[in-house]
Chains A and B, each alone.
Chain A
Amino acid sequence: MNWKWLIRRLGFMLMVLAVAVILNFLIPRLMPGSAKQAYAGKLPEAVQVKIIARFGLDKSIWEQFVLYIQNTLKGDLGMSFSNHPNSVTYMIGNALPWTLFLLLTATIITVPLGYVFGVIAGWRAGSKTDTGIQIGSLSLLATPLFWIAMVLLYVFSAQLGWFPLRGAETAYSGYTGLKWVGDVLWHAVLPVLALMTLFGAYEMIMRNTMVTTLRENYIITAEAKGASENRVKYKHAARNALLPLITSVGIRFATIVGGSVFVENIFSYPGIGSLIFDAVISYDFPLLQGAFLIFSIVTVVVVFLLDLVYLRLDPRIRY
């Protein structure tokens, strides 16, 4: 383990988080109208007074900032307008596991799929197989996520009835153990499939790096050594082409997070995406901010974890 590198990366991650937290502080204060309006505007008057005191909204901007940092560190992100008196932290705490489950499942399935198809297509670039895979990937890339989600819901849930119409689990099912796991997976199939359209992006990245990697001298060495086709393909070429894929997973993660807002809304999935959607409709600024902050944190953490993976995969890294 490269400790120096790790510490630098951690520092970088903290810096990004700090920026996100500061933006979160600044945006409601830069908006037309007052921060009081943004934080407490839609609440009963008696509650407004309490919120103003809690976030020091009548104090100077510096005092507000100190209070804000203290509150944020304590996990106090304010009161949701639309779900008053529930706190933003409570709402997000309920929704986050579902969103993480969706996003990570989709990523964990999509990346290897993109990898395998990218390797197959890149290995025989220009062949019919390659052209077929490229057409598939491009179509997926070009199709809006919410449209795919709607089609999936319409065909497989509404028409065929194979999958549920809504939610992350059967409501009030009382399922436990394996049964519950099965139920949750059953509900996740369509949302995950919709999010898996990002496969197109991963496949194309993998294919293109595969094509360049195959021109490298070490591929010739490997072939000259008498390695079998699969060994050259996976152990030598794909292993190197994997590195840009890992980087792109981090970059794409932000996209998939955005996509989850649509997907969750369409499948009535009780995650952060649905929260954001409802918060926008009901002008619930504290909830919206909290959700964005959580998304920034999730994205930064995921990117950092991917960095760790990258570190394991690429011995050349020296920061």
Chain B
Amino acid sequence: MKKRLVFSFCSIVLVLSMILGPLACGEPVDTTTYRLTAAVTDLHESSNPFLASGRGDIRIMSRIYEPLVVGSGGAAIPRLAESWSYDDSTMSWTFNLVQDAEWSDGEPLTAADVKYTLDTQYAGDYSGGGDSKEFVDTVTVVDDNTVKITVTEYASAFLDFLNSMYIVPKHIWEDVADIDTEANLAPVGSGPWLWDEYVPQSHVAFKKNPNYWGGTVNIDEMVLEIYGSQELALLALKTGQVDMVPTVELYSYIPQLLESTDVKVGVDRAANFYNFLFVDHREEPNNLPAFRQAVSMAINRQDIIDFALFTYGSIPRMVPLVPEAIASEDVDWPGLGMTDEARIDEANAMLDADSDFSDFVEGETRTYKGDPLNIEMTIVNRPADVQQAEIIRENMAEIGINVSLKLIGFGPMMGMMFGGGWDDWTWSTAGHGAGGSTLDGLAQEFGADPYNVWYDAPSLGWGEDGDGGGTTAARALQADLRQSRREDDPATLATLIEQIQVDFAAELPIIPLSQGNTIYAYRLDTFTGWAPQEEMDGQGSSGHLLGTINILALEPIAQ
């Protein structure tokens, strides 16, 4: 009978798949090939270095392409540029390229490639040029190995701005008909890895660049596997299916990871990040400083540290935008020493004082000018972010504000914040180069002006018109700060710094929530020679374990 045949066939297929599958996968692919496998949860979106913007993209682009320098808090780690200098009189940076760098197709890497890349980035307004574009006047090729960048204004964070400026081969890209639609599925780069295979939604595989100018890569191939969730990625690490998880976002899983003696969890001090609550200043009552103060007062930051970051974080400074070393000690959190009840009472009192707000009634939503305070909070759909948002939602309920959550991806969140297309409240981590050490580094080199500090804050979306321009007062303050550096007047600068803090505390344009750390995890039984903590620090947000210093240090353990 035909039906029986079909049925038997299907059962055989099912049974075969259960037997054949594990058999086929049980044996190692090739005993002589060493493969490094990393579990990532960010999808790779674009292989075009001009268009790459998501975290997944940057992570992959920085394996293939390299910037001139890797900025690290005013100091910088050399990459394609082995040395550099700034000449104040001509207002120009001179970068000397490494001698023997070459592209993976064998062509030499020259200053012409650097000029081409910068010019193209700035002309097309691509994201890699975003930070530095404002300062750059012209890029000139001095000789094959020297490139000069003339700036319109000195910025101490200029080297940091070049972090994501991936130098591309001119001889390839000048033939590309349309950069905006180029998928670049066979990239030619200068980094330690050669792009080998990309299966959308599954993985990106690299082979080592045997002729890497920077040193010998001891690993034959590397695969970044895309996992559906952090939990699965960490489980894969724990069970030995992958060698590393470059970014651990599910803090609650860390104790389980540590159960295995073969797994090491590291905290990257260089990649501290701040979590802020961004409010849309175009909307009432977000535009009222007193309202923002009350919201800030009601937030239980200790709960966020304990229950959302699982103690992998700390309460941020009142004005995290000012480097710790130069910050004034006098300005601190209102409500820092108060009990939870007292803080909530204080926050309620602040709102009750304004007659536009209805008085607080337990369990009810307040109104502002007759409209109930129902606020939609947009958050990134990552576990820790959601947990933080839940705590804030509970806190808000205690002062009569009804918060609902809307989850979106990281990429769209960045798009919304910088594009001004957001409403009500947006909450996210601000990874905008504002790593703690970056600011601390600036402070150490005190000659550097804190322009960077102010440069960042307005661009994160607050401002009178909500388009990220910053307040008029802030702009004036920026001008003053720049002036103070030129006049070499530390006393005035110190006063201004204090003024920034006082202004910030009064205005609270964005509300700091917590300070987190980038956490990574790897296995000790497959590879050895993991670069020491200090050396891996500061390799940028593009994946410290995957960074070149660590990659060159790693040695496979023969199984």
A and B touch in the complex (CB under 8 A): yes
Interface residues of A (CB under 8 A from B): 42, 44-47, 50, 79, 82-86, 90-91, 94-95, 105, 108-109, 112-113, 115-116, 153, 158, 161-175, 178-179, 181-183, 185-189, 192, 234, 265-268, 270, 274-275, 278, 281-283
Closest-CB distance, B45 to chain A (whole angstroms): 5
Contact B180 A46 (CB under 8 A): yes
A85 in contact with B51 given A167-B202, A172-B221 (CB within 8 Å): yes
Cβ-defined contact, A172 with B51, below 8 A: no
Return 30 A-B CB contacts under 8 Å, by A number.
Answer: A50-B180, A83-B45, A83-B200, A84-B45, A85-B51, A86-B45, A86-B46, A108-B6, A109-B11, A112-B10, A115-B7, A161-B239, A164-B25, A165-B235, A166-B227, A166-B232, A169-B202, A171-B225, A172-B203, A172-B221, A174-B30, A182-B23, A183-B24, A183-B25, A268-B228, A268-B232, A270-B199, A278-B201, A282-B412, A283-B408
Chain B: CB-nearest residue to A47: B180
Contact residues in A for B232 (Cβ distance below 8 Å):
153, 158, 165-166, 268
Residue contact A185 to B20, C-beta cutoff 8 Å = yes
Nearest CB on A from B336, distance (A): 37
Q: How far is the CB of B208 from chain A (nearest CB, A)?
A: 14
How many whole Å from A189's CB to the nearest CB in chain B?
6
Closest to A170 in B: B25
A186 touches B29 (CB 8 A): no
* Complex contacts, A42 vs chain B, CB 8 Å: 412, 415
Q: Inside 8 A of B20's CB, which chain A residues have their CB?
A: 178, 181-182, 185-186
Interface string of B407-442 (1 = CB under 8 A from A): 111011001000000000000000000000000000
List residues of B whose CB falls within 8 A of some A CB: 1, 3, 6-7, 10-11, 13-14, 16-18, 20-25, 29-30, 35, 37, 43, 45-46, 48, 51, 54, 124-126, 178, 180-183, 196-197, 199-203, 205, 221, 223, 225-228, 232, 235-236, 239, 241, 381, 407-409, 411-412, 415
Least CB separation from B50: chain A residue: A44
A151 to chain B, nearest CB (A): 14
**Minimum distance in angstroms from B172 CB to a CB of chain A:** 16
B419 closest partner in A (C-beta): A42
Q: Check if A274 sits within 8 Å of B201, measured CB to CB.
A: yes
Give, as a whole number of angstroms, the nearest-CB distance from A318 to chain B: 25
Please measure, in the bound complex, the distance between the C-alpha atom of A178 and the C-alpha atom of B25, giving whole angstroms: 11
Least distance between B491 CB and chain A CB atoms (Å): 45
* Complex: chain B residue closest to A171, CB-CB: B203
A162-B22 in contact (CB<8A): yes
Indicate whether A86 sits within 8 Å of B13 (C-beta atoms), given known contacts A281-B407, A281-B412: no
Kindly report which residue of chain B lies nearest to residue A86, judged by CB atoms: B183
A50-B180, A50-B181, A85-B46 known, 7 other contacts, Cβ within 8 Å: A109-B10, A109-B11, A112-B6, A165-B236, A166-B225, A178-B24, A268-B226
| Top 9 closest pairs, chain A to chain B, by CB | A186-B21, A185-B17, A182-B24, A268-B228, A270-B201, A171-B203, A182-B20, A172-B205, A281-B409
Q: Choose from A47, A165, A192 the contact partner of B181 (Cβ within 8 Å).
A: A47
Contact present for B43 and A278 (CB under 8 Å): yes
Distance of A173 Cα from B196 Cα, bound (Å)? 12
Interface-centre pick from A44, A274, A278 (highest chain B CB count, 10 A): A44
Contact of A268 among B3, B227, B241, B407 (CB under 8 A): B227
User: B17, B24, B381: which contacts A175 (Cβ < 8 A)?
Assistant: B24
In the complex, A270 Cα to B239 Cα: how many Å? 22
The answer to whether A165 and B227 touch across the interface, beta carbons within 8 angstroms, is yes
Distance, CA A278 to CA B182, complexed state (A): 22
The answer to whether A44 touches B125 (Cβ under 8 A) is yes
Kindly identify which residue among B24, B200, B411 contacts A282, using a CB–CB cutoff of 8 Å.
Answer: B411
Select B124's contact among A46, A86, A282, beta carbons within 8 Å.
Answer: A46
Determine how close the nearest CB of chain B comes to the CB of A286; give it in whole angstroms.
14
- Contacting residue for A189 out of B18, B46, B182, B412, CB 8 A: B18
Is the pair A182, B7 in contact by a Cβ cutoff of 8 Å? no
Give the complex CA separation of A280 and B3 in angstroms.
41
Looking across the interface, which residue of chain A has its beta carbon closest to that of B185?
A: A86
Shortest B469–chain A CB gap in Å is: 18
Chain B residue numbers with a CB within 8 Å of A189 are: 14, 17-18, 21
Asked if A94 and B21 make an inter-chain contact with CB atoms under 8 angstroms apart, the answer reads: no
| Separation of A112 and B12 alpha carbons in the complex (Å) | 13
Pick from A79, A86, A166, A173: contact of B29, CB under 8 Å: A173
CA distance A175 to B25 in the complex (A): 9
Q: Are A84 and B10 in contact (CB under 8 A)?
A: no
- Distance, CA A274 to CA B41, complexed state (A): 13
Given contacts A172-B223, A270-B199, contact A85 B25 (CB under 8 A): no
Q: Are B21 and A84 in contact (CB under 8 A)?
A: no
Residue contact B235 to A158, C-beta cutoff 8 Å: yes
A181 CA / B17 CA spacing, docked (Å): 9
**Please, which residues of chain A bring their CB within 8 A of the CB of B241?**
164-165
User: Contact at B29–A44, with CB atoms within 8 Å?
Assistant: no
Is the beta-carbon distance between B180 and A85 smaller than 8 angstroms?
yes
Q: Is there an interface contact between A185 and B197, defined as CB atoms closer than 8 Å? A: no
Closest B residue to A37 by beta carbon equals B421
Q: Hey, which chain A residues are within 8 Å of B30, CB to CB?
A: 174
Pairwise interchain contact B17-A188, C-beta atoms closer than 8 A:
yes
Query: How far apart are A21's CB and chain B's nearest CB, in angstroms?
Result: 24
CA–CA, A211 to B424, complex, Å?
Answer: 59
Complex Cα spacing A294 to B43, Å:
22
Is B125's CB under 8 angstroms from A171's CB? no
* Cβ 8 A contact of A171, one of B10, B18, B205: B205
With a cutoff of 8 Å between Cβ atoms, the chain B residues found around residue A234 in the complex are 1, 3
In contact, A95 and B223 (Cβ under 8 angstroms): no
In the bound complex, what is the Cα–Cα distance between A281 and B18 (angstroms)? Answer: 34
B383 to chain A, nearest CB (A): 14
* Shortest CB distance A180–B (Å): 8
Which B residues are CB-close (under 8 A) to A82? 43, 45, 54, 409, 411-412
Q: Is the CB of A186 within 8 A of B17?
A: yes
Tell me which residues across on chain A come within 8 A of B381, comparing CB atoms: 281
Least CB distance from A146 to B in Å reads: 12
Most chain B CB within a 10 A radius of its CB, from A91, A108, A171: A171
A residues in contact with B225, CB < 8 Å? 166-167, 171
- Whether the pair A84, B51 counts as a contact (CB closer than 8 A) is yes
